Amino acid sequence: HEVRPAVRSSAQVLVASNRGPVSYTLETDGSLDAKRGGGGLVSGLSAVEDKLWVCAALGDGDREAVRRGVGEPGVRMLDIDAGVHADAYNGIANSVLWFVHHMLYQTPLEPVFDAEFRRQWASFESYNRAFAEALAEEAGQGAAVLVQDYHLALVPGMLRELRPDLRIGHFSHTPWAPVDYFRLLPDDIAEQLLHGILGADRAAFLTRRWADAFIGCCTRILGGTGRTRIGVHGLGADAGFLRRRAHEADVDERMAALREQTGPGRRTIVRVDRTELSKNIVRGLFAYRELLDERPEWRERVVHVAFAYPSRQDLAVYRDYTAEVRRVADEINAVHGTEGWTPVVLHVKDDFARSLAAYRLADVALVNPIRDGMNLVAKEIPVVSDHGCALVLSREAGAYEELGSDAVVVNPYDVSATAAALHEALTMADDERAERTERLAAAAVALPPQQWFLDQLDALRREA
Ligand code: G6P
Nearest in space to 269 (alpha carbons), one of 450, 424, 414, 86: 424
- Which atom belonging to ligand 1 lies closest to the Cα atom of 148? 9
pLDDT attached to residue 147: 98
pLDDT attached to residue 1: 46
**Number of helical (H) and strand (E) elements in the chain, helices listed first:** 19, 15
CA–centroid distance, 274 to ligand 1, in Å, is 10
Mutate to test the pocket of ligand 1, among 90, 149, 210, 277 (most ligand atoms within 8 A of CB): 149
Mutate to test the pocket of ligand 1, among 311, 321, 372, 374 (most ligand atoms within 8 A of CB): 311
pLDDT single digits (tens) 131-180: 999 999 999 999 999 999 999 999 999 999 999 999 999 999 999 999 99
pLDDT single digits (tens) 218-274: 999 999 999 999 999 999 999 999 999 999 999 999 999 999 999 989 999 999 999
Q: What is the mean pLDDT of residues 65-87?
A: 96
Helix (H) or strand (E) holding 262: helix 249-262
pLDDT single digits (tens) 302-347: 999 999 999 999 999 999 999 999 999 999 999 999 999 999 999 9
Mutate to test the pocket of ligand 1, among 15, 18, 19 (most ligand atoms within 8 A of CB): 19
Q: Which residues are bridge partners to 145 per DSSP?
A: 14, 168
CA–centroid distance, 266 to ligand 1, in Å, is 34
349 dihedral zone (left: phi>0; alpha: psi -120 to 50; beta): beta
Helix (H) or strand (E) holding 292: helix 281-294
Nearest in space to 408 (alpha carbons), one of 289, 419, 377, 268: 419
CA–centroid distance, 363 to ligand 1, in Å, is 28
Nearest in space to 326 (alpha carbons), one of 302, 300, 306, 355: 306
Mutate to test the pocket of ligand 1, among 274, 315, 318, 371 (most ligand atoms within 8 A of CB): 274
pLDDT attached to residue 7: 59
pLDDT attached to residue 210: 98
Concatenate the DSSP letters of all residues of 192-241 into one string: HHHHHHHTSSEEEESSHHHHHHHHHHIIIIISS-TT-EEEE------HHH
User: How far apart, in Å, are the Cα atoms of 297 and each of 288, 291, 333, 336, 366?
Assistant: 13, 9, 17, 13, 20
Prediction pTM value: 0.96
pLDDT > 90? residue 455: yes
Scored b (16 or more CB within 10 A) or e, 1-16 reads eeeeeeeeeebbbbbb
Q: Are 185 and 437 in contact (CB under 8 A)?
A: no
On the CB side of 284, CA atoms within 13 Å amount to 33
Nearest CA to ligand 1 atom 8: 173
pLDDT single digits (tens) 1-54: 445 555 566 899 999 999 999 999 999 999 999 999 888 899 889 889 899 999
Nearest CA to ligand 1 atom 10: 19
User: How far apart, in Å, are the Cα atoms of 55 and each of 2, 52, 132?
Assistant: 24, 10, 11
Nearest in space to 57 (alpha carbons), one of 31, 33, 39, 75: 75
- Which atom belonging to ligand 1 lies closest to the Cα atom of 17? 9
CA–centroid distance, 151 to ligand 1, in Å, is 9
Nearest CA to ligand 1 atom 4: 19
Nearest CA to ligand 1 atom 9: 149
Nearest CA to ligand 1 atom 5: 19
Nearest CA to ligand 1 atom 16: 19
Q: What is the mean pLDDT of residues 70-85?
A: 96
- Which atom belonging to ligand 1 lies closest to the Cα atom of 174? 8
Nearest CA to ligand 1 atom 14: 312
Q: What is the mean pLDDT of residues 179-200?
A: 98
pLDDT attached to residue 464: 63
212 dihedral zone (left: phi>0; alpha: psi -120 to 50; beta): alpha
**pLDDT, the chain, mean:** 96
pLDDT single digits (tens) 375-432: 999 999 999 999 999 999 999 999 999 999 999 999 999 999 999 999 999 999 999 9
Instruction: Give residue ranges with CB within 6 A of ligand 1.
Output: 19, 149, 173-174, 311-312
pLDDT > 60? residue 125: yes
Q: What is the mean pLDDT of residues 357-381?
A: 98
Q: Are 137 and 7 in contact (CB under 8 A)?
A: yes
Instruction: State the Cα–Cα distance between residues 277 and 170, nearest whole angstrom.
Output: 25
